[in-house]
Amino acid sequence: MRAVCTARWINFCRTRRLWLKHRLRELFNLEYDVLLYDVTSTFFEGQVNANPLAQRGYSRDQRSDCKQVCIGLVVSRCGMPLGYEVFAGNTADVTTVEHIVETMEARDGKSDRIWVMDRGMVSEENIEFLKEEERRYIIGATKSHLKKFEQQLLEADWHTVHKGVEVKLCQSPAGDDETFILCRSADRRKKDAAILRRFKQKIEERLNAMQIRCEKQNRNVQKVEREVGRFLGQNTRAAGLFEVEVKADPQGFAKLTWKKITDRQDWATLSAGCYLLRSNVQDWNDEDLWKACIQLTEAAFRIHKGDLSIRPIWHQKEDRVLAHILVRFLAYVQWKTLAAMCQQAGLWN
């Protein structure tokens, strides 16, 4: 009897989901050709020892002291929420992609849609998975890929797509059907340069102080090495710009020397404000590809700033936590629906 009731409930939910999907399309001319996927998290108050989903992981709320759950949210290109999944709090974003894509395909079919995700979802395994059955995607590329396009950064054939933002299309270094979209932002360049300058100054001041300390005191080599490693690990944004050496002097005590690496300094200046996207969409221009990624960034920003109104969770039991997230998600859908209706009526820009 329970199995029959469960099957009926699943069928009912599927039927209502399809009805809502078509109704939203009728009301707002909603398109499902582009799906934006991002992951957020919410933390717990309390120990939550009886909930296996409650785990410590990367906290977007700067609450690493609390257990949390991760929530993968799929929205349309206009930000209308279409579905979500709850993951354990220690789940890495990159491991959720296959599950989300297959779940959405099982619900809505394998139509010719484009998946848009940030670079936290990138792995070669995920890229190969998305290429299966000719899935299309626009994904932020990792920072390490940017070095492969150093020559293109120096060239002048940029296309302005927004005030202060330029892009250009580049062929894949591997020679396959992927296209890379090289982007640079004037505002982001200023921000990156300021952050890098602050970290560089901090490292220089600390290294000078440590160097003087080693000259005045008889310090252990291994202890100084650990101190340097720990400090550079806390300032990774600029750590690669310095070469630090700790060795023993004739008496066996620590002697610290350091210098700046010129070519890395030049690369940091050149690449400031630049980022990279990768896609196998062949029939879009550079502006369309860039706009799709910006839509994800804006949607993710709104989600992370609390549109779900879900933080923190005070429930302890797993079923109550899942119910809490479901109610918040439904409220979020209703809020977005009302916002779209107001916008159509000219009441909200």
Render the burial of 321-334: b for 16+ CB within 10 Å, e for the rest.
beeebeebbeebee
pLDDT for 21 equals: 66
State the average pLDDT over residues 72-97: 89
Q: pLDDT by residue (tens digit) across 141-159?
A: 888 889 899 899 888 889 8
pLDDT for 348 equals: 66
Six-digit token string for 114: 């484009």
In the predicted model, is pLDDT for residue 258 greater than 90? yes
In the predicted model, is pLDDT for residue 207 greater than 90? yes
The domain made up of 21-140+281-344 has a fold known as Nucleotidyltransferase; domain 5 (3.30.420)
Q: pLDDT by residue (tens digit) across 163-206?
A: 889 999 988 888 788 899 999 999 999 999 999 999 999 999 99
Long-range pairs for 120-127 at CB < 8 Å and ≥24 separation?
120/39, 120/93, 120/94, 121/37, 121/93, 121/94, 121/96, 121/97, 122/94, 122/278, 123/94, 126/94, 126/97, 126/98, 127/278
In the predicted model, is pLDDT for residue 257 greater than 90? yes
Share of the chain above pLDDT 70, in %: 87
In the predicted model, is pLDDT for residue 66 greater than 60? yes
State the average pLDDT over residues 13-37: 70
Q: pLDDT by residue (tens digit) across 276-285?
A: 999 999 888 8
Six-digit token string for 339: 């916002």
The mean pLDDT of the chain is 84
**19 or 61: which leads in pLDDT:** 61
pLDDT for 337 equals: 84
Return the domain boundaries, the chain. 21-140+281-344, 189-269
pLDDT for 309 equals: 65
